């Protein structure tokens, strides 16, 4: 069962005469949803790292939906679905 709670709060004022100032805050809480796997920096030589990403960024990894995922060439990856599934679990 998924539960979600969201709050948006905004406040407008004029801190300095003639200049509109706006504060916005957003909060979201979820339960029952999957989390995201993130990859490390390319300098760490983690699986899937590439020099195309900035050296100070982490990024989301693509997690296949299963052994029949058309976006993955298992022959070229050097990893089978069962091996990847073991790592994910």
pLDDT per position as a tens digit, 42-86: 555 555 555 555 555 666 778 888 999 999 998 888 889 999 889
Q: Count of domains in the chain? A: 1
The answer to whether residue 17 is domain-embedded is: no
The answer to whether residue 42 is domain-embedded is: yes
The answer to whether residue 20 is domain-embedded is: no
Domain, as residue range, for 78: 38-88
Separation CA 56–CA 46 (nearest Å): 14
Whether this model's pTM surpasses 0.75: no
Provide mean pLDDT across the span 2-12. 90
Backbone angles phi, psi at 42, to 5 degrees: -65, -20
The answer to whether residue 63 is domain-embedded is: yes
The answer to whether residue 71 is domain-embedded is: yes
Closest CA to 36 of 3, 2, 60: 60
Provide mean pLDDT across the span 27-41. 73
């Amino acid at each position: 069962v998924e539960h979600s709670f969201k709050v948006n709060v905004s406040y407008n004022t004029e801190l300095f005469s003639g200049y509109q100032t706006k504060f916005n805050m957003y909060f979201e809480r979820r339960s029952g949803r999957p989390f995201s796997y993130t990859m490390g920096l390319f300098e760490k030589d983690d699986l899937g790292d590439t020099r195309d990403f900035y050296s100070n960024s982490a990024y989301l990894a693509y997690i296949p939906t299963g052994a029949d995922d058309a976006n993955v060439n298992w022959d070229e990856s050097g990893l089978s679905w069962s091996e990847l599934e073991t790592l994910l679990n």
